[in-house]
Amino acid sequence: MLIASWWANFEAWAYNAAPVFEIFFVFAIVTILVLLLRQMPRTKPQEIKPDSDSAIGWDDIAGVEDARAELQEVVEFLSAPERFARVGARVPRGVLLHGPPGTGKTLLAKAVAHESGARFYAQSAAGFVEMFAGLGAARVRRLFRIARKNQPSIIFIDELDAVGGQRGFGLSGEKDQTLNQLLIEMDGFKSQDRLVVIAASNLLEKLDMALLRPGRFDRQIYVSPPDVHAREDILRVHVRNKPVGEVDLEMVARQTAGLTGADLANICNEAAIFAARRGGAEILNEDFDHALERVIAGTQSRRVLNDHEKEVVAYHEAGHALVAEMLPAVDRVHRVSIVPRGRALGYTLNLPDEDRYLKTREELIDYMTMLLGGRAAEQIVFGAVSTGAADDLRRASEVAGAMITDYAMGTTVAVTGRGSPMDERVSEQTLRLRDEEREELLHSARASATALLSSNRATLNALAAELQTQEVLERAAIERIVAHAAPPRPRLAAAARREPPSA
């Protein structure tokens, strides 16, 4: 009886207190939602005003003259649109800068904004997409709304491929929604809008075709790595505010073939660090030499090799250097070192006399011969090979594969054209022929390297001996040692080449 009375009283109390619990529950839900919204990532586009101290002009960039000439029209449109409107012309709504990383795509966009007096709004494409559905599209709308309110303006979207990839392959569909919103915003431009979208991407082939059609990214500009003259101009820009002594920047530019503007900026900074480390008041040639070694070969390692390992590395690098000196198609050797740097126990630095963009079949075979020269030297001298040639084998295999599948430089016409094993258009016979052709090229290069080093064994021994003593050999020492080496017979590889495989 007592329990029943207590239960009845509890039920009455609970019934009267129900509204209070409901209010508390609603308040808890609202509090949790507010906390979640506060924790949700917020991205704000980076804004650079034309008169900002961080603004970059044409004088601050170099080595991209072709891209600069294309973008000059955008500058003129944003600064004087009436001249274009008079003849019914309109500026491209979007400009896509594509090319290897570090070639200056972001700097070009900032320079356009500064030179035209437009506001610059930068946003990484990866910052649009989050785990919350619809958030990326909302951020795109917000970015364009801000830019339209502050015309003339430039929207710069970096790494466009983060959201601009082909649609239909995402699991959540969030990237597709973000891309759709970007397409809608770019289609919504009015003819009188002084708003230009500039985007940068390293993967042009992966972008959705709807982005690349006229009316969206009308103009696509390839920003290529700089040539030797452009590299010298870039170096002069980066040392402009540094105390530089007697430094041959033309030689530094020749030594940095294939490097981008970002790499050159890093080299100038490393040279300044080396100058400060030695307590110098100016940056000298030796500082740039140390910087080049650090950037190209890696930081010096504290690993200590035993006498046998040091001898193996010396013969390995001597094999590379001697084969390179014997083959005129290979770039000249500038420096040979057996000082461990990074993951490498030694390195051979080859420098081209000039920038080249085309290579023949024979030149590529000579290059593979140089790559396999270190392994061939180990086999000749020690009768065995070591694991030190792993990177050489990988690079030689890549060159041989490209010669067959990309350049059709094999001996069988039927094995041209790139294709993966999963490609139905490539038969098993074609794949077998490709493997045989690649093996044939590698065998030819290895046989050439072995023949060259065997016929110049005394020079190989002299190079290796001096390397073990000096650890680093410069160009003058290399020329002195190999001066009396026997020249290679014409197309030495042909003598040792096996018969081409039959179809």
CA distance 50 to 413: 57
- DSSP secondary structure string for all residues of 477-492: HHHHHHTTPPPPPTTH
Q: Under the phi-then-psi rule, with left for phi > 0, alpha for psi from -120 to 50, and beta for the rest, what region is 364?
A: alpha
Q: List, in order, residues 6 or more apart from 415 with CB less than 8 Å away.
A: 404, 405, 408, 430, 433, 434, 437
Closest CA to 447 of 394, 406, 489, 401: 489
What is the distance in angstroms between the CA of the first residue and the CA of the last residue of the chain?
Answer: 102
Which string of DSSP letters, residue by residue, matches 56-81? --GGG--S-HHHHHHHHHHHHHHH-H
Tell me how far apart the alpha carbons of residues 416 and 408 are, in angstroms, rounded to a whole number: 5
Contact 228, 257 (CB under 8 A): yes
Give me the DSSP letters along 137-172.
HHHHHHHHHHHHHT-SEEEEEESTHHHHBPTT--SS
Q: Nearest CA to 310 among 379, 395, 388?
A: 388
How far is it, in rounded angstroms, from Cα 308 to Cα 374? 16
Whether residue 109 contacts residue 83, with contact meaning beta carbons closer than 8 Å, is answered with no
**Cα(418)–Cα(404) distance, integer angstroms:** 8
C-alpha radius of gyration, the chain, whole number: 32
Q: Are strands 347-351 and 332-337 parallel, antiparallel or unpaired?
A: antiparallel
**Helix, strand or coil for residue 419?**
coil
- Partners of residue 164 on adjacent β-strands: none
Q: Which residues in 155-171 are b (16+ Cβ under 10 Å) and which e?
A: bbbbbbbbbbbbbeebe
Annotation says 282 is catalytic: no
Catalytic residue, chosen from 232, 270, 317, 440, is 317
Residue 54: count other Cβ atoms within 10 Å of its Cβ. Answer: 10
Active site residues: 317
